Structure 1
Amino acid sequence: MKHLLLILLLLVAYPGVVRAFGTGELGCSGDCTSCHKVTLKEAQDIIRKIDPSMGVEKITTSQVPGLYQVVLTKANTNGKGIAYLDFSKRYLIQGTVLDTGNKVDITGKSMRELLESQVIDVSRIKLNNALLLGNPKGTKHLYLFSDPDCPYCAKVHDELTKLVKKMPDLAVHILLYPLDMHPDAAWKTNAIVAASKKDMKRALAMLEASYDKKAVKKNSSASNYANELKKMGQDLGITSTPVLVYANGSIGLGAKTQDEIKAGILKNVKTAK
């Protein structure tokens, strides 16, 4: 207690000592970038020491004091991700940052903004293993990356089922994208896509049964469509479901309503394949 009292008395007597623990007149309450700087090249060199196949698209000051937010890229793919680098440039942090005060997922919000700012080249979307909902000869095209065991995908599918009735010229191409968190999604994808080769209505019924938590019959002889579809999705930068890709390559994430989807279709008009 005596030691603490002595320290307090010294700080009062010599206020200049306090500044020694800060950075400039304002300490760390000022603009962090006035003292802490990092170039894109520095960030790229740091990342490539860890993984030569990774690159850095952008680095900015994070909402979290003392951290930079780094947008990572992967060679030969459209995949992107977010990580954090501390101001010392020594520690790279991967994971979710939560603002507990405001109950906001900072990383999730940034990732959503990042993904929705992307544009996918729709000519790279292969439709040979796609399901088709709506008009096969439709003039308006929409692409949906969907997991057969994803509850949010089930909501989007239900909305699209209603929408194709209101938009008779709409063709929805469903690309099944099984997520690792759903252990049954891969074999369901194989079985559903295999069924679509002979009977599209049956395949759609199987997908809807999965969404309704009903049994889907396994097809042990089916080709490994799941791997093909997943690789294509990853190459395009798809990392989650549901993901809507409009005709001009713009992206829509999450469980959207039919009105939101329709607005997206009309806003992002472009002749698709």
Structure 2
Amino acid sequence: MNIKSFFSILIAFLMVSLPSLAHECEMKKVSPEKMEGKLRSVLGNGKVITVSESPVEGLYEVVIEIRNKRIPVYVDCSMRYLISGEIIDLKEKRSLTREKAMELAKAMESKKAKELEKRLGKKRVEKLKEVLGERITAVNLVDVSKIPKTTVTFGNEKAKYTIYVVDDPECPFCAKFHDEMLKVLDKSKDVKFEIILFPLPFHKHAQTISQRILCEKDPDKQREILEESFEAVKDKNLTKLRKLGKKCDKGKEIIEKHFEFAQEYGIGGTPTLIFPKGVVVSGYMKADKILEIIDALK
């Protein structure tokens, strides 16, 4: 669930009359775990980070983390009503909610920068900044030990460096990226790619194509099917895409695990690249840029 969808759901809970919010009740200290339990039906994959009194009497300020972003929402003291919207100080002409959101964003950026430096070291981070420029602010980290092993391999299996690609067989940008990936393999024998299949729900044939690939035992055949799919995407050949798909329960189960991994780390788009040391960079990337990132992480 993305933040936009999350807010859309929360707006449905905004139909609360003023008398309902005005009733008196004691503002007791509430743990994030208890509040998360109350919000579970609308929280999706989000989690409650903190619960405190808001600037408005009778409301809790609840900080929620979704896809590596933190946002403030408000819950009444009975923990029955949740409000998504801005608290505006009319006297000071300030949005207290917006100020809180900016404060949370800065804190998250600072936390991420510290984690990045801790994992990579200052020199590697500086090199990475040179390569990525402003894009460095979008870099995330994953626990390498949690990366799925059910992948499709391209390149030398004994290569020194592995790049994982969260990929959709019906994604146009993934098809375009695949060509760049092959260029990297032509230029370097030290790099291999492991494809984590992640069929997006709005791609009609991606799910069954992914299932078929994951149920195929022959690695060469797995690669062949994926590349046929990308060629069909480039040619806009929907008939070919439909024929490539095949339902398979085992493949479906594997894909569900891939989604769990992606959701845990806020990965929602394809292609997304996971470089050595768990460095995550989302979006299409040229071959030379990929090699520059590998060099920065050495």
Name the TM-score class by shorter chain. 0.5 to 0.7
* Cα separation, partners in 2 of 1:186 and 1:57, compared to 1, 3 Å: same
Looking at secondary structure, tell me which structure has more helix per residue.
2
Give TM-score, length-normalised by structure 2: 0.55
**Residue 253 of structure 1 aligns with which residue?**
282
| Cα offset, 1:92, TM superposition | 4.1
Q: Would you say the 8 A contact 2:160–2:190 is kept in 1? A: yes
Partners of 2:231 and 2:141 lie apart in 1 by 32
Q: For the structure 1 residues 198 and 139, does the alpha-carbon distance in structure 2 shift closer, same or farther, using more than 3 Å as the test?
A: closer
Q: Which amino acid aligns with 1:229?
A: I
| Alignment TM-score, normalising by the size of structure 1 | 0.60
Q: Which runs of 5+ in 1 are unaligned?
A: 1-39, 60-67, 74-78, 95-105
Q: 1:83·1:92 contact (CA, 8 Å) conserved in 2?
A: no
Query: Alpha-carbon deviations, 1:190-216, whole Å to 9, x = none?
Result: 123334625244234323224323314
Q: How does 1:160-199 map to 2 (within 5 A)?
A: 160-195=181-216, 197=218, 199=220
Partner SS for 1:248 = helix
CA contact (8 A) 2:35 2:48 kept: no
Structure 2 counterpart of 1:85, from 63, 73, 78: 73
Shift of 1:122: 1.9
CA distance in 2, matches of 1:41, 1:259: 51
Aligned residues: 207
Contact residue 178 and residue 226 of structure 1 kept, 8 A: no
Distance, in Å, in 2 between the alignment partners of 1:57 and 1:117 is 21
**CA deviation string 1:86-141 (max 9, x = no partner):** 598964439xxxxxxxxxxx99xx7x9789454212222232x3111222221110
Distance in 1 of aligned mates of 2:287 and 2:62: 34
- 8 A Cα contact 2:168 2:206, kept in partner: yes
Equivalent AA in structure 2 for residue 119 of structure 1: L
- Secondary structure of 1:126 counterpart: coil
2:21 is aligned to none
Aligned counterparts of 1:84 and 1:148: Cα–Cα separation in 2:
36
Q: Aligned partners of 2:202, 2:73: CA distance in 1, in Å?
A: 28
Instruction: Give the secondary structure class of the aligned counterpart of 1:199.
Output: helix
Question: What 5-or-longer segments of structure 2 have no aligned partner?
Answer: 1-28, 52-60, 86-100, 113-136
Describe how 1:257-272 pairs up with structure 2 within 5 A.
257-269=286-298
Structure 1 residues 222, 49: CA separation in 2 closer, same or farther (over 3 Å shift)? closer
- Aligned-residue offset at 1:252: 0.4
